[in-house]
Structure 1
Amino acid sequence: SERRRSFQVSQQERATAPQPGATCDMTAPSALLLRKQLAELNKNPVEGFSAGLVDDDNIYRWEVVVMGPQDTLFEGGFFRAILTFPSDYPLRPPKMKFISQMWHPNVAKNGEVCISILHEPGEDKYGYERPEERWLPIHTVETIMISVISMLADPNGDSPANVDAAKEWREDPQGVFKRKVARCVRRSQEE
């Protein structure tokens, strides 16, 4: 379907994303900005998540741990994810993929996070989002993570990445959906 194609990584995106194991130019403007944002997060941690590098030699791949928001089904969880930044960050958004199991309408079954703030800037060819809801270069890792935490607390069922989770969330939020999320929370605590 057209919606599914929008989640596939284009050849251009693959070409501009630094590859795992590749040496990174730590003096590139994007690398300097990411190093500054990481230092700021370490100096002044933000409630709800922690962040660090997957590999000290690659500023473009971060591991984040999202704490399940209080008073939500995700409370008590410690969900690990990878943020992969393009070499032209902040002109283009990073990709975020949970490596902890996640059952949520806005997280694809493969773990990819689907929220407006992580979508390429400009017009949405499907008409779901306004340009100002999509990626803007003023966003930071902090604003991304706050949006992800908000997404956990308040899913967007109108534009799901996981149709099965969205259906369960709409039809039986305190039944099957709640049980599957509880299983994800337990597993995240064991990782």
Structure 2
Amino acid sequence: MCLKVLISFFSSPTELNKNPVEGFSAGLIDDNDLYRWEVLIIGPPDTLYEGGVFKAHLTFPKDYPLRPPKMKFITEIWHPNVDKNGDVCISILHEPGEDKYGYEKPEERWLPIHTVETIMISVISMLADPNGDSPANVDAAKEWREDRNGEFKRKVARCVRKSQETAFE
């Protein structure tokens, strides 16, 4: 595929810089690899994640935009929809089509119209409003449901502090 055509499939870092979306910044990890991006997500205001600076990687498949990228937090984060190794589990990043479990509608899953911006807006929304019914981290989901203002809040606060300390390493 021609490089110029490939870039048009992605929201280019230059385009993101011209028209920034509040709450994150994104760019290529390596200028020679359009398939691997690094993003910094600022914890949304009025949430437990406020003030955090969370680093994550987006890895796009070779057949993007037909298939979704994978997203993995590099910074430790305690969240029901992020598994313990950092992999993000939200509908927009699930393979397109019917959900074999019947939980998600096809239009909630990956569609080729999604961009880095729409993915990041969904992830920021996920931080503000976790989906406890479909957890990737069962322990975090249980704490979020049963002890949101206790142990869950303490673990998130620890992740926020750690993210601030390590944000620019």
Q: Which bracket does the TM-score occupy, shorter chain normalised?
A: over 0.9
Q: Does 1:80 align with 2:55?
A: yes
Task: Report the aligned-residue RMSD.
Answer: 1.3
1:30–1:88 contact (8 Å) kept in structure 2? no
Alignment TM-score, normalising by the size of structure 2: 0.94
Measured in 2, the distance between the counterparts of 1:168 and 1:55 equals 38
Shift of residue 65, structure 1, vs aligned partner: 0.4
Q: Distance in 1 between matches of 2:67 and 2:9?
A: 13
C-alpha separation in 2, matches of 1:57 and 1:103: 32
Quote the Cα distance in structure 2 between the aligned partners of 1:48 and 1:87.
27
CA contact (8 A) 1:31 1:60 kept: no
Runs of 4+ with >6 A deviation = none
| Alignment gaps of 5+ in structure 1 | 1-24
In the alignment, which residue of structure 2 is the partner of 1:33?
A: 9
3-state SS of 2:148 partner = coil
Query: What count of residue pairs does the alignment treat as equivalent?
Result: 166
Q: Alpha carbons of 1:117 and 1:146: their partners in 2 closer, same or farther (altered >3 Å)?
A: same
What is aligned with 2:86? 111
In the TM superposition, what is the alpha-carbon distance from 1:31 to its structure 2 partner? 4.0
Give CA deviations for 1:64-114 in whole Å, capped at 9, x if unaligned: 001000000000000000000011111111000000001000000000000
Structure 2 residue ranges without an equivalent (≥5): none
CA drift of 1:42 comes to 1.3
Change (3 A) 1:168 1:138: same
Q: Helix, strand or coil: the match of 1:175?
A: helix
